[in-house]
Structure 1
Amino acid sequence: MKTNRRKFITTTAVLAAGTIAASAMPFTVQEKEEWPVVHHVFFWLKNPGSVEDRDKLVAGVKTLSKIETVKKLRVGVVASTEKRDVVDNSWAVSELMFFSDLAGQATYQTHPIHLEFIKNCSHLWEKVIVYDAVDA
């Protein structure tokens, strides 16, 4: 009987500790995005087969993270995913930026770091398409 009682007390203590630990963890699901303004840019290289040009452009895009209104920056290259009619993989480099508000995105457009990026890297691309969105 003492063995069953010890097991019960031990199990209860472990469950209680687990419940307390789980309730102390921060709630990770957000109801509203922290940075509701999205700026997504796709670049096509003048020399599409040049890994060197692609890497220079990637490095240039990464400098944009120093702009104070850029809350988050993701830089990507084309993924080797399944070929489907709805997938456009003709571009070479993409940037995905998040801003707190439209004013922050406007500040980014005229920021000296952004203008320097254009000056230093525009010779690498042939085409650029921009998609800007806000949370609905």
Structure 2
Amino acid sequence: MKRRSFIKRTTIAGTAAAIFASSVPEALSQPKPESTQTPGTIIHSVYFWLKKGLTTSEKMEFLNFFQVLKNIPITNTLTFGKPAPTTTREVTDNTFDYNLIITFATLEDINVYETHPDHIKAAQEYSKYWEKVQVRDTVIG
């Protein structure tokens, strides 16, 4: 009797596992694709803390800064956003107002960007809106 009970339980468990495995979307069971960024790609992350008391109009004007930078031809990709409403933890910092992320193909490209006249002019023009900026650059290995 014990043997029949064991066989019945293992058969049910095996059937349940097979049903579960077949119901998991294929995309979830596949390994993540490798990054499309090649070794040597530079990820330029810039965090902005805007001045307190800016009007809605001034905040909207600040966003034009990103459009100016986007038009600098040496950039690969450019995106920006506000802090995500993730769980507050000791290791997270969601105190910034905007994060700008630009990728560059090479270290030489970011060096050109940093001294590009449009970048320098835009930073001078729009710096009136921020009280603090932090830059973190990463090279993909």
| TM-score, reference length from structure 1 | 0.70
1:112 aligns with 2:113: no
Q: Which runs of 5+ in 2 are unaligned?
A: 1-32
Contact kept? 2:54, 2:129, Cα under 8 Å: no
Residue 55 (structure 2) pairs with residue 47 (structure 1): no
In the alignment, which residue of structure 2 is the partner of 1:38? 43
Matched, 1:63 2:68: yes
SS in 2 for 1:118: helix
When the two chains are superposed, the root-mean-square deviation of aligned CA atoms in Å is 2.2
Q: Deviations over 1:1-48 (max 9, x none)?
A: xxxxxxxxxxxxxxxxxxxxxxxxxxxx45661471110000111126
Contact 1:38/1:96 (<8 A) preserved: yes
- 1:7 aligned residue: none
| Percent of residue pairs bearing the same amino acid type | 29
The letter for the 2-side match of 1:33 is Q
Say if 2:138 is the partner of 1:133.
yes
Farther off after superposition, 74-83 or 107-116: 74-83
- Please tell me the residue identity of whatever aligns with 1:59: N
Q: Residue 26 of structure 1 corresponds to which residue in structure 2?
A: none
- CA–CA separation in structure 1 for the residues paired with 2:55 and 2:83: 14
* Count of equivalent residues: 109
Q: Helix, strand or coil: the match of 2:124?
A: helix
Relative distance call for 1:30 and 1:48 in structure 2 (3 A) is farther
* TM-score, L = length of structure 2: 0.68
- Runs of 5+ in structure 1 lacking a partner? 1-28
CA distance in 1, matches of 2:54, 2:88: 19
